[in-house]
Structures are given as structure tokens and as C-alpha cells.
Amino acid sequence: MKGILKILPGLLLIFFFYAPAMADPEVNSGLKCLICHGAIKGKVEKTKVVIVDIYIDGEKFSKSVHGSFDCTACHIAYQGSPHKEPGGDINNKDIAELVPFVRAKSKVDPVAQAACIKCHASIYKTLKESIHGQNIFIKKEMDGPLCLDCHGSPHYIAPKTEKESKVNKFNILHTCGNCHDKKELAKNTIGANT
Ligand code: HEC
Ligand code: HEC
Ligand code: HEC
Ligand code: HEC
Ligand code: HEC
């Protein structure tokens, strides 16, 4: 709650400043979200363990592989009113089925985590069948990786050929190494997707 109180005065200013933009029907929902999320810098303590960074760097997002999408392409439950409690109308059976499995790996919006399946269905299928996926989907343990454990922030994913990518050949050892012994990994086949 403290965090929210701290950012409220900022919010009022933002509304004042952006009022004409908000009235413009041409502004798509992605930009509407960024009116606040691209402007407020701060973290909000949802619970003792869940701390949410609400700032999204709009320019960096627009250059990412998903930069042409609206925020609601993944934050589907936030359609309509921005902060409708996640779990709203998802209208997609694949996503709805995944949500309970990925909930424990999500901080605030399991629908957004599950939404990757909408456009990357075959990768999701491969992951589910892998040792990593079975850890989450069959054993229901949570130490195996889901998409973001290997690809980093969902807002700034770069093509794998670029050095910013967490799965670029220069970063992959570090990314897998968050959970694995690096020497062991070097002997394994690195580059396998899941
Ligand atoms: C009027 C300003 C404003 C707008 C517009 C807005 N947000 Fe937020 N958002 C906030 C604030 C403030 C928080 C943190 C407060 C809290 O946790 O309740 C937040 C938190 C979030 C969170 C973290 C989880 C949560 O519920 O706290 C997500 C995800 C999110 N917003 C997504 C979106 C998306 C997607 C849109 C556009 C559809 C959007 N927001 C539009 C101000 C805004
Ligand atoms: C490619 C899918 C995708 C897109 C597009 C996307 N998000 Fe997210 N976002 C996610 C996922 C997944 C999470 C993590 C959810 C969780 O851990 O519960 C997340 C988390 C967040 C959070 C919480 C940050 C934190 O500390 O976890 C905010 C705020 C947020 N998104 C806002 C936005 C805004 C604003 C946009 C548009 C500019 C946007 N998102 C676009 C997938 C996406
Ligand atoms: C609305 C459709 C859509 C959603 C939802 C979506 N993606 Fe994507 N994603 C794309 C498109 C389109 C591309 C670019 C196509 C390409 O270059 O292969 C892409 C590219 C990627 C890349 C490839 C980067 C590279 O190496 O080229 C990764 C990784 C990725 N997405 C992960 C995710 C994750 C993780 C989620 C869920 C949080 C997600 N995507 C949600 C459509 C989507
Ligand atoms: C264990 C780590 C790991 C997990 C988990 C993971 N990925 Fe990947 N992903 C990679 C690596 C490594 C590559 C690059 C593969 C290569 O170089 O060919 C990659 C490549 C990709 C690409 C680029 C297209 C391609 O085939 O090269 C997309 C899209 C993608 N991943 C999406 C996802 C999505 C969506 C999820 C969750 C369902 C996911 N990944 C889970 C490690 C992972
Ligand atoms: C979030 C943590 C995490 C990340 C990141 C991660 N892994 Fe794993 N990995 C695990 C866990 C946990 C297991 C064991 C799963 C089980 O048996 O339930 C595992 C199992 C494996 C196995 C099978 C090992 C065996 O002895 O059975 C291989 C190979 C592997 N990971 C490679 C990778 C590679 C390559 C990457 C990076 C692209 C990676 N992992 C990223 C957590 C992770």
C-alpha cells in the first residue's frame, strides 16, 4: 500500500498532462497503458514477496520482437478496463487451460504468461514434453524454467541473433547457469530450445 500512496501524486499530474491523448479514439490500448506505465517509475509491494516494477520503457518495448503488439495481446484480462482483476474474459481455451499450471510461476498476471501459447503453440508443446516442462506440468514442481526464465523480461525480448537476447550464444551459458552448473552445461547440448 505504501508504494501506491507514494506514486499517486504523480498519477494526477500524468492525467492532467495526457488528457487530450486519452480522449483521442485513435490511441490504441498499448499506448493507453503506456500513459501510466511509460511514465511512472516505481515499484509496488503487492505482498511481502511480490514486488512489481510498474515502469515499462516504451521505446525499448517498441523495438522488441513484440513491439508492434498492444499490451493486451498478452495481458488479455486487462482488456476493457485496464485493471480488471486478472482472470477476466480470456476467450481462449488453450490459455484458460494453462493458467492454473503457470499461476505459481507468475507474480501478478498468469494469463499473460499463458498467452505465449496463442502465438507460439508449437514451442509450448515442445516445452511441455521436455524434462523442463514435465517438471512444471507433470511433477508440478516449480524449479523448472518457463519461457521467461530463459528469455528474460517479456517486454524487451530481442531476436536471438542480437547480443541483448538472453539466448544469444554469448549469454546462453549465463542464462542456463542461473539454475545449472556451468561446467556441466558446457558438456551438454546447448542451443536446444527447451
Ligand atoms: C491510470 C494509470 C494506469 C493505466 C492507464 C494502466 N495502468 Fe497498469 N498499473 C497502474 C498502477 C498505478 C499500478 C500499480 C498499482 C497496483 O498494484 O494496484 C499498475 C499495475 C499494473 C500491473 C501489475 C499488476 C497489478 O495489477 O498491480 C500490470 C500487469 C498492469 N498494470 C498492466 C496494465 C495494462 C496492460 C494496461 C493497459 C490495458 C494498464 N496497466 C493501464 C497504472 C495504470
Ligand atoms: C509478449 C507478452 C506481453 C506483452 C506484449 C506485454 N506484457 Fe506485460 N507482462 C507479460 C508477462 C508474461 C508478465 C509477467 C506476469 C507475471 O509474472 O505474473 C508481465 C508483467 C507486466 C507487469 C508487472 C511487472 C513485474 O514486475 O512483473 C507490468 C506492469 C506490465 N507487464 C505491463 C505491460 C504493459 C504496459 C505493456 C505494453 C506496453 C505490456 N505489459 C506488454 C507479458 C507481456
Ligand atoms: C500476439 C502474438 C504473440 C504473443 C502473444 C507472443 N508472441 Fe512472441 N513473437 C510473436 C511474433 C510475431 C514474433 C516474431 C516472429 C519471429 O521473428 O519469429 C515473436 C517472437 C518471439 C521470440 C523470438 C525472438 C527471436 O529469437 O527471434 C521469443 C523468444 C518470443 N516471441 C517469446 C514470447 C513469450 C515468452 C511470450 C509470452 C510471454 C510471447 N512470445 C507471446 C508473437 C507473439
Ligand atoms: C530452457 C530455456 C528455454 C525455455 C524454457 C524456453 N526457451 Fe525459447 N529459446 C531458448 C533458446 C536457447 C532459443 C534459441 C534456439 C536457437 O538458437 O536455435 C530459443 C528460441 C525461441 C524462439 C525463436 C524461434 C526459434 O525457434 O528459434 C521463440 C519464438 C521462443 N524461443 C519462444 C519460447 C516460448 C514461447 C517459451 C515458453 C513456452 C520458450 N521459448 C521457452 C530457450 C528457452
Ligand atoms: C529456472 C531454472 C532452469 C533454467 C533457467 C534452465 N534449467 Fe535445465 N533444468 C532445470 C531443472 C529443475 C531440471 C530438472 C527437472 C526435473 O528433473 O524435474 C533441469 C533439467 C535439465 C536437463 C536434463 C538434465 C538431466 O540430468 O536430466 C538439461 C539437459 C537441461 N536442464 C539443460 C538446460 C539448458 C541448456 C538451459 C538453458 C537453455 C536450461 N537447462 C535452463 C532448471 C532450469
Residue closest to 48 by CA, chosen among 87, 9, 3: 3
Global pTM reads 0.90
Q: Report pLDDT digits (tens) over 96-153.
A: 999 999 998 999 999 999 999 999 999 999 999 999 999 999 998 888 999 999 999 9
pLDDT for position 57: 95
Largest CA distance in the chain: 58
- Residues 148-175: pLDDT tens digits? 999 999 999 999 999 999 999 999 999 9
Cα–Cα distance measured from residue 3 to residue 95, given in angstroms and rounded to the nearest whole number: 31
Alpha helices in 38-181 (DSSP H): 58-63, 93-102, 110-114, 116-119, 121-129, 131-137, 147-151, 172-177
pLDDT at 19 (0 to 100): 39
Checking if the pLDDT of 17 tops 70, the result is: no
* 30 CB near ligand 2 (under 6 Å): yes
The pLDDT score that the predictor gives to residue 90 is 80
Ligand 5-lining residues (CB < 6 angstroms): 131-132, 135, 139, 141, 143-145, 149-150, 172, 175-176, 178-180, 185, 188, 190, 192
Question: For 50-88, how does the pLDDT look when each residue is reduced to its tens digit (9 = 90+)?
Answer: 899 999 999 999 999 999 999 989 998 887 666 765 555
Q: Could you tell me if the CB of 95 is within 6 A of ligand 3?
A: no
Q: Which atom of ligand 4 is nearest to the CA of 190?
A: 12
Whole-number Å distance, alpha carbon 73 to ligand 5 midpoint, is 29
Distance CA 162, CA 107 (A): 28
Say yes or no: CB of residue 98 within 6 Å of ligand 2.
Answer: no
Of ligand 3's atoms, which has the minimum distance to the CA of residue 151? 29
- Ligand 1 atom closest to the CA of 108, numbered from 1: 24
Confidence bin at 25 (pLDDT 50/70/90): very low
- What pLDDT, on a 0 to 100 scale, did the predictor assign at position 135? 92
| Ligand nearest to the CA of residue 51, numbered in listed order | 2
Please state the rounded mean pLDDT for residues 18-45: 66
- Nearest atom in ligand 1 to 7's CA: 12
Residue 32's pLDDT band (cuts 50, 70, 90):
confident
Q: Which helix (H) or strand (E) holds 89?
A: none
Residue of 22, 40, 54 best suited for mutating to test ligand 1, as the one with most atoms within 8 Å of CB: 54
73: left (phi over 0), alpha (psi -120 to 50) or beta: alpha
184 pLDDT more than 70 = no
